[in-house]
Amino acid sequence: MSKIGDKIKAKREEKAKGSNITQQNIEESREEIIAKGKKFKYPFQYAKHKLIINAIAIGIIAIAAFVAVGWLQLYRAHNTSEVMYRFTRTIPLSVAEVDGVKVRFSDYLMLYRSSIRSIERQQGEFDDSEDAKTEKNQYMRQALTDAEDYSYAMAKLAEIDKSVTDEEIDAVIKEHKTIDGELRSDTAFEGIVRDNFGLSINEYRRLIMLSLARKKASIELDVDAKEKVAEVAEAIANNGNDFKKVSAIFGEDKTVVFEEVMDVDFNNLDNGRAVMAAQLEKVGDVSEQFVSKNGDGYYFVKLTAKSENKVSYQSIWVRFVWFEEQMQKLRDENKVNEKIKIEIKEEESEEKPEENTVNDGEVEETE
C-alpha cells in the first residue's frame, strides 16, 4: 500500500507543480502562440521584403540593358531614328567634346534629322542605294560639325557672360512666321515647322538658338572683323560711296568681298541684302553696316536700281574669320574628340552640304 500511496502522492505534487501559473508564463505562452499564428494569418509577409528587392534588381537590370542597347545603337550602329532622338533628349549623352566642351547628341540628331526632312520634302525620300548612303553620310558629317561649332560658340559666349536671349529668338520666329507678307498664326506656323523640319516649336527654338549663338560669338569676339568693317566704312565715305573703288582698295584682302546683283525680288534669299536694298529710298543710297542673317559677316549695300518688287544693288561683305580659324586650330591640335566615326571619302568631302541654319530666309509653307 505504501508504494501505491507514494505514486499517488507524487502525481498530485506534479499536477500541483504544473498548475503553478504565473504572469510570466502567460506572456511567454501568448507570444509563442501569436508568432506561430502569424505564419498562417499573413503567409506573404516574410516574402514581401524579398519581392521588393527582386523588383528593384530587375528594374536596375532593365534600365542598364536599355541604356546599353541605346549606346550601341547610337555610337556603333549610328541609328538616327525618332526613337533614338527621343532617347538622347531624355538621357543627356554627348557625341563629341570641343576643348572640354560637351556636344549634345540630341543637338547633332536634331540638326541631321531636320536637314534630311527638308531635303526629302524637296527631292523625295532617300532609297537604299550607295549614292543615297553617301549623301546621308555627308549630311551626318555636316550636322556633327555644326553641332560642335554651336556648342563651342555657346561656351565662348558664356565666358564673356553673354547668351542668346528669348527676345532674340522671338524676333527671328516672328520674321519666319511672316510668309509672303502674311503673318501666320502660332498653330499654322507650328504645322509648317513640323512639315518642313520634323520639329516641335520648342525644338525649332533650340535650332534658332544654336544658330544665333555662333552668329553672336562672331559679333562679340571677331576683333579683326570689327576693325576691318570700320576701315571699309571710312573708305566708302572718303570715295563718294563708290563701291568699286573701295573694292580695289581692299583688292588683296580676301576678307573683303565685292558683289553686284541685278534685278532680284525684295525677299531674295541673300543674307538680307535685297531686303536692306529695298528699304533704301533712292538709287545711290548706302546702308549702314549690318550683320548677315546667317552670321557670316558684315554687309554694306548700295541701291543701284529699284522697281515695284525688284531691286539691283552692290554689296561689300566683310567676312567673319575668327570663329572658323579658331575651330580649325582646335581640330588641328586634336582638341575636338568625336565619339562617333562618320566615313566620308576624300572626293566626297569637297562638296559638303550647306550649313544647317534657319536664320537666313523664310520657312516654306506646305500645301
Written as one string, the DSSP assignment of 96-126 is EEETTEEEEHHHHHHHHHHHHHHHHHHH---
Please indicate, yes or no, whether residues 360 and 295 belong to a single structural domain of this protein: no
Please indicate, yes or no, whether residues 110 and 182 belong to a single structural domain of this protein: yes
Please indicate, yes or no, whether residues 138 and 265 belong to a single structural domain of this protein: no
pLDDT value, residue 2? 60
pLDDT value, residue 356? 53
pLDDT value, residue 118? 92
Please indicate, yes or no, whether residues 361 and 212 belong to a single structural domain of this protein: yes
CATH code at position 146? 1.10.4030
Least confident of 88-97, 129-138, 317-326, 345-354: 345-354
- If you average pLDDT over residues 97-125, what whole number do you get? 95
pLDDT in tens, 260-282: 999 999 989 899 999 999 999 99
pLDDT tier, 367 (very low <50, low <70, confident <90, very high otherwise): very low
**β-bridge pairing 101-104 and 297-306:** unpaired
Residue-averaged pLDDT of the chain: 86
- If you average pLDDT over residues 158-174, what whole number do you get? 95
CB crowding 293-312: b at 16 or more within 10 Å, else e: bbbbbbbbbbbbebeeeebb
Highest mean pLDDT among 59-73, 202-216, 333-347: 202-216
Report, in this order, helix, strand and coil percent for the chain, each rounded to 5: 60, 15, 30
pLDDT tier, 366 (very low <50, low <70, confident <90, very high otherwise): very low
- If you average pLDDT over residues 287-303, what whole number do you get? 96
Q: Given a cut of 80, is residue 101 above it in pLDDT?
A: yes
pLDDT value, residue 335? 97
Please indicate, yes or no, whether residues 106 and 30 belong to a single structural domain of this protein: no
* Higher pLDDT, residue 314 or 123: 314
Please indicate, yes or no, whether residues 159 and 131 belong to a single structural domain of this protein: yes
Residue 62 falls inside a structural domain: no
Residue 245 falls inside a structural domain: yes
pLDDT value, residue 262? 96
Residue 306 falls inside a structural domain: yes
**β-bridge pairing 310-319 and 256-265:** antiparallel
Please indicate, yes or no, whether residues 181 and 237 belong to a single structural domain of this protein: no
Please indicate, yes or no, whether residues 249 and 104 belong to a single structural domain of this protein: no
pLDDT value, residue 301? 98
Residue 59 falls inside a structural domain: no
Number of structural domains in the chain: 3
pLDDT tier, 13 (very low <50, low <70, confident <90, very high otherwise): low
Please indicate, yes or no, whether residues 115 and 196 belong to a single structural domain of this protein: yes
Q: Given a cut of 80, is residue 291 above it in pLDDT?
A: yes
Q: Given a cut of 50, is residue 360 above it in pLDDT?
A: no
Residue 258 falls inside a structural domain: yes
CA nearest to 113, candidates 217, 6, 196, 227: 196
Please indicate, yes or no, whether residues 175 and 249 belong to a single structural domain of this protein: no
pLDDT value, residue 3? 61
Residue 253 falls inside a structural domain: yes
For cell 502525481, the residue is 11
Please indicate, yes or no, whether residues 313 and 248 belong to a single structural domain of this protein: yes
pLDDT tier, 128 (very low <50, low <70, confident <90, very high otherwise): confident
Boundaries of domain holding 290 = 223-320
Please indicate, yes or no, whether residues 151 and 227 belong to a single structural domain of this protein: no
Least confident of 145-154, 298-307, 356-365: 356-365
